[in-house]
Homo-oligomer: A and B are copies of this chain.
């Protein structure tokens, strides 16, 4: 029979078992951490009606969308988790209790140009808090705590959460009579770090006709630096120019004031006036997270406050705040950088049981006992030479191998070999389970990511 060459589409991540285990660990940490902050898990369809999914229309993503007909239906695959959330909240409004806090970890689809490290199918891990008409700024202040807890639990230390507030920017530019140019200005100053202040100034004055003295003032405004408190103090010098700016200062002040109570160390946080995020969407606090040793990766967790989640579906005003982690890309980059801790177990089982007798009952009963005690046990029943059986455990990294021969069965004991140290014990099953569990706990110390 002619064979079809098996292949996986380019831009689609398909992991081998060991890295998949690492990915599962990361997802488990995200699920648990998000839950600690009172977010409920959500799952929405991958396919939506195109008219619903693309209600907002236009935009750069539209040509990347996987869109197709099935029968009479015009369907599309979701390209993020925000639009499905907007739909969900508008549709189930009467069944939800607000503020509604949900997390969702799911695959999204974008037919981007194939490129190393760019994915067409990738996981996003999102959290959002949605209010009904109003939403307390406390929710904005809490986001850095969630980012910090998530990344530090994953094992990262050298990262920084950068925060800004769009009201400060919009208020300040309005105070300079530059409200209509705010978008262009923000896009330009976003490059400040890269191209330097002189270049920014010349773009502002030449390309966007910003008066030179305003450009000077913008650069002065942006030059506030140092700790969050120091930046805040510098910004206080601009208070009183504009109501929106003052409101932004209050909100940013709230975020900074409660960092310590939220357990966020000062070194993992910075106020950064150059970040703006999605220009037509965010309206208050905005967030970026960078790995200090890998700035080239860009932000690994971003988001912000918005005023109107579901405006394309409902008249109801639903403000919210949310962040998103591009999980597949993050996992890929961590792997490329050698930052995935190889010492954590990735084996499919904790113990491999090798029956050495014709009657398999004792070996099976032992496996059952292991499993009833939460130890992941695999029975090995293949007809192979002894050496090959043990080598099966080595190849998979299974940490313990148990031998059960006539003698052991007669004496009610179990021979158990630690594959890493070579140490072999002969103990009764209960003591063996105890030993294995203690060993597993030690092996599972340490975080998924190492710097």
Contact = CB atoms under 8 A, between A and B. Distances in A.
Given A8-B91, A46-B46, A261-B360, A383 B136 contact: yes
Contacts of A138: 360, 379, 381
B396 A97 contact: yes
Contact of A39 (B1, B40, B348, B362): B348
Interface string A165-188: 000000000000000000000000
Interface in A28-56: 35-49, 51-52, 55
Interface string A183-195: 0000000000000
22 contacts: A4-B313, A5-B52, A6-B86, A6-B91, A7-B91, A8-B87, A8-B91, A14-B88, A20-B41, A24-B41, A35-B348, A38-B348, A39-B348, A66-B68, A66-B75, A68-B69, A101-B378, A136-B383, A139-B381, A142-B379, A261-B361, A261-B364
B8 A48 contact: yes
A442 interface: no
B37 A378 contact: yes
A160 interface: no
Interface in A279-313: 310-313
Nearest to A136: B381
Contact of A52 (B6, B16, B315, B371): B6
A107 B78 CA distance: 14
Given A36-B371, A68-B69, A145-B368, 8 more contacts: A6-B52, A35-B348, A36-B377, A37-B378, A47-B66, A70-B111, A137-B381, A263-B368
Q: Number of contact residues on A: which range applies?
A: 35 or more
A403 interface: no
Interface in A192-237: none
Contacts of A90: 6
A154 to B, nearest CB: 16
A131 to B, nearest CB: 7
Given A47-B9, A69-B68, A38 B349 contact: yes
